[in-house]
Amino acid sequence: MTRRLASFTLCIGMAILGGACATKGFVDERVGQLESKLAGQITTTHTNLAERADLQEKKLRDTAERTGENRQAVDVADERLRGLDTRVGEVDSVAEGAKTRADRAAVLAQDAEARLAQRFAGRNRYRLIDTKSVYFGSGQIEMRSQDVSELDEVAKALVADPNAILELQGFADSQGSDRYNRELARERVEGVVSYLVQRHGIELRQLRGTAMGRVTLAPGEKPSAESLARARRVDIRLFSPWSSWEDTQAQSGDRAANPSTAAPATTSELPDQIQPSGLPRAVLEDPAAQRRLPALLRTITPLDLGAK
């Protein structure tokens, strides 16, 4: 009985020991499986993290590149904006200059309108520019060679100013009848007119001639060779419209001159003592003044200003 009990106990112990050994092996196996699984998960997680880190790094690089490109684009935009600011400043300067020129043009237009009104108001007013005399021999109607230069100077003035006019007064000495002296004075005036028209192409509308006849001596004066020589003449008086004279004065800057006090020149010497005198510049053309006037003013003809 005792042996059976001992054997039974021994069997039970060995069974317990075998079960214990089986449980330990199972635990070790399970632990190994868990370790393998954990190692695999760790490896997978590490791989995933590495991939995600690479992806994030790539995204960061792309973002940095885009940021650099955006920075360059911003720099280019800033440069363009600075260029636009410069061009806007230039446009402002041009606009300011245009406004200044427009204001100046408006002032010039007002001045031109005032000058035009003044021209029409004074179209029949003339200013005496110069006087000359052409002398003749006794009973002669031919001009002397030394007097031709006088007429040439007058012709230049008439050509330069189409609105200028020339008054001619013919005289004869006291010798002979009144009828003879009137005819002689008329022929002398016609000779001067013919010379100006045929030689220089002067228009007849610029010439006005009158035969005055014989020169009457002063009471108590006796005829002398000197007084007779002085009487045989054609007096020439050159007139220019006030508008032409004012234009010339504006060009030369001599606005302070008072034309009403200017005394006409006279010639009282004997024929052989007369010195030629040049015409003043007031009768010459003023192209600069014409360019300043509007196109409307340049279309005005001498007839519009009262010429006949």
Write out the two tokens for 146. Answer: 């030394």
137 with 205, same domain? yes
* Whole-angstrom distance, CA of residue 275 vs CA of residue 269: 9
87 with 137, same domain? no
Per the CB < 8 A criterion, the answer to whether 123 and 306 are in contact is yes
Comparing 171-180, 238-247, 251-260, which segment has the lowest mean pLDDT?
A: 251-260
Most confident among 132-146, 213-227, 276-290 (mean pLDDT): 132-146
Q: Once rounded to an integer, what is the mean pLDDT over residues 77-96? A: 84
Over residues 16-52, the pLDDT tens digits come to: 666 655 577 777 787 888 878 888 888 888 888 888 8
75 with 146, same domain? no
Residue 29 has phi, psi (to 5 degrees) of -65, -45
* Whole-angstrom distance, CA of residue 205 vs CA of residue 196: 12
**104-116 burial: b if 16+ Cβ within 10 Å, else e:** eeeeeeeeeeebb
* Residue 84 falls inside a structural domain: yes
* Whole-angstrom distance, CA of residue 296 vs CA of residue 124: 20
68 with 168, same domain? no
86 with 210, same domain? no
- Cα Rg, the chain, nearest whole Å: 60
Over residues 249-290, the pLDDT tens digits come to: 555 555 444 544 343 333 333 343 333 333 333 333 444 444
140 with 282, same domain? yes
Where is pLDDT greater, at 140 or 286?
140
* Residue 198 falls inside a structural domain: yes
* Residue 239 falls inside a structural domain: yes
105 with 152, same domain? no
Which H helix or E strand runs over 249?
helix 242-252
299 with 153, same domain? yes
247 with 193, same domain? yes
44 with 160, same domain? no
* Whole-angstrom distance, CA of residue 155 vs CA of residue 149: 10
Write out the two tokens for 98. Answer: 């245009």
92 with 49, same domain? yes
- Quick one: CA dihedral 297, 299, 300, 302, positive or negative? positive
* Residue 146 falls inside a structural domain: yes
Share in percent of the chain as helix, strand, coil (round to 5)? 65, 10, 25
What pTM did the predictor assign? Answer: 0.43
74 with 170, same domain? no
* Residue 28 falls inside a structural domain: no
Total domains present in the chain: 2
Q: Among residues 121, 136, 167, which one ends one of the domains? A: 121
* Residue 1 falls inside a structural domain: no
Q: Among residues 121, 148, 167, which one ends one of the domains? A: 121
What pLDDT is stored for residue 303 in this prediction? Answer: 53
* Residue 157 falls inside a structural domain: yes
Residue 109 has phi, psi (to 5 degrees) of -65, -40
* Whole-angstrom distance, CA of residue 252 vs CA of residue 258: 14
Q: Among residues 63, 91, 121, which one ends one of the domains? A: 121
Domain containing 160: what range? 126-305
What pLDDT is stored for residue 16 in this prediction? Answer: 66
Q: Once rounded to an integer, what is the mean pLDDT over residues 238-255? A: 64
* Whole-angstrom distance, CA of residue 170 vs CA of residue 209: 8
* Residue carrying the six token digits 């427009």: 102
* Whole-angstrom distance, CA of residue 199 vs CA of residue 217: 35
* Residue 10 falls inside a structural domain: no
In order of 48, 57, 266, the CA distances from 63 in angstroms are 22, 10, 102
For residue 164, give the CATH number of its domain.
3.30.1330.60
For 180-284, strand residue ranges (E) read 207-214, 233-241
